[in-house]
Amino acid sequence: MRQVLRRALGALSILVGIALLNFLLLQLAPGDMVDAMVGEAGGATPEYMAELRAKFGLDQPMFVRLARYLGALAQLDLGYSHRKQAEVLSLILDRLPPTLLLMTAALSIALPVGTLLGATQSRRQGSWLDTLLSVIVLSTHALPAFWLGLMAIVFLAADRGWFPTGGMTSFDAPADGWDRALDVLHHLALPALTLANVYIAVYARLMRSALLELKGADFIRTARAKGLSTERVFWVHTVRNALLPMVTMLGMQIASMLSGAVIVESVFGWPGLGRLAFEAVVARDTNLLLGIMFLGSILVTLVNLGVDLLYSVIDPRVLARGAS
Amino acid sequence: MKRRAALLALGALGAYGSTRIVRGRAPSAVGRRLIVVTIEPTTVLTSAFDPVMTNCLIGSKVMEGLVTYDVDLNPVPALAERWEVSPDGRSIRFHLRPNVKWHDGADFTSEDVAFTLLESWKKLHPFGRAAWATVRAVQTPDPLTVDVHLEGPARYIFGYLNTFGAQVLPKHLYAGSDIRGNPHNQAPVGTGPFVFQEWQRGSHVRLRKNPHYWRPGQPRLDEVIFRFIPDAPSRAAALQSGEVQLALGGAIPHLSLRRFAQNDRFQLNTDDGNFLSSLSMVLCNVRSGALADRRVRQALMHAIDREALLRLVFRGYGKVATGPVPSSVRRYYTTEVPQYPYDLARARGLLKDAGHADMRLQLAFGQPEALRTALFLRQSLAKIGVTLELKQSDATTWLRHVFTDQEFQLALTGLHMLPDPTLGVQRLYWGKNIHKGVPWTNGSGYLNPELDAVMEAAQIEGDEAERRRLMQRWQQIVQTDLPVLNLIESAWVSVSTANLQRPTRQGDGLFDNLGDAYFA
DSSP per-residue codes, B281-326 = EEEE-TTSSGGGSHHHHHHHHHT--HHHHHHHTSTT-EEE--SSS-
Residue B436 CA: distances (Å) to CA of B129, B343, B395: 19, 36, 17
Written as one letter, the residue type at B101 is K
The reply to whether A150 touches chain B by the CB within 8 Å rule is yes
Rounded Cα gap, residues B252 and B248, in angstroms:
8
Q: In 3D, which of A100, A53, A72, A52 has the Cα closest to residue A290?
A: A72
Name the region of B244 (left: φ>0; alpha: ψ -120 to 50; beta: rest). beta
B519: left (phi over 0), alpha (psi -120 to 50) or beta: beta
Amino acid (one-letter) located at B167: Q
Size of interface A-B (CB pairs under 8 A): 174
Residues 263-322 of B with CB under 8 A from A: none
Cα–Cα distances (Å) from A91 to A55, A81, B178, B213, in that order, read: 21, 9, 22, 34
pLDDT for position A250? 82
pLDDT tens track of chain B, all 520 residues? 344 444 444 434 333 333 333 334 433 344 799 999 999 998 899 999 988 899 999 999 999 999 999 999 999 999 999 999 999 999 999 999 999 999 999 999 999 999 999 999 999 988 888 889 999 999 999 999 999 999 999 999 999 999 998 999 999 999 999 999 999 999 999 999 999 999 998 899 999 999 999 999 999 999 999 999 998 989 999 999 889 999 998 899 888 899 999 999 999 999 999 999 999 999 999 998 999 999 999 999 999 999 999 999 999 999 999 999 999 999 999 999 999 999 999 999 999 999 988 899 999 999 888 999 999 999 999 999 999 999 999 999 999 999 999 999 999 999 999 999 998 999 999 999 999 999 999 999 999 999 999 999 999 999 999 999 999 999 999 999 999 999 999 999 999 999 999 999 999 999 999 999 999 8
Three-state SS at B273? coil
Helix or strand run (H / E) with residue B119: none
For residues B221 and B517, the answer to whether their CB atoms sit within 8 Å is: yes
Return the percent helix, strand and coil in chain B, to nearest 5. Answer: 35, 20, 45
Q: Which residues contact B194 (CB under 8 A, 6 or more apart)?
A: B61, B62, B207, B208, B209, B210, B219, B224, B513, B514
Q: Tell which residue, B306, B245, B235, B318, has the closest CA to residue B276.
A: B318
Q: pLDDT tens across B141-171, in order?
A: 999 999 999 999 999 999 999 999 899 999 9
CA A206 to chain B, closest CA, distance in angstroms equals: 28
- Which residue of A lies nearest to B397 if distances are taken between CA atoms? A30
Contacts of B13 in chain A (CB under 8 A): 154, 158
Q: Would an 8 Å CB–CB cutoff place B216 in contact with chain A?
A: no
pTM of the complete model: 0.89
Q: Best interface-test mutation with A: which of B4, B21, B231 has the largest number of A CBs within 10 A?
A: B231
Contact B161, B75 (CB under 8 A): yes
Cβ neighbours of residue A57 closer than 8 Å, sequence gap 6 or more: A65, A68
Strand bridging mode B91-96 / B246-247: unpaired
Q: How far apart are CA B72 and CA B74, in angstroms?
A: 6
Give the best residue of A35, A87, A160 to mutate against chain B (max B CB count within 10 A). Answer: A35
What backbone torsions phi and psi does residue B266 show, to the nearest 5 degrees? -130, 155
Q: What is the ipTM of this complex?
A: 0.86
**Shortest alpha-carbon distance between residue A70 and chain B (Å):** 25
CB B109 within 8 A of CB B144: yes
Cβ burial A219-255 (10 Å sphere, 16+ → b, else e): ebeebeeeeeeeeebbeebbbebbbeebbebbbebbb
Q: How far is CA A105 from CA A109, A187, A254, B191, B427, in A?
A: 6, 12, 12, 44, 52
Distance from CA of B350 to the nearest CA of A (A): 35
The Cα B245–Cα B258 span in angstroms is 17
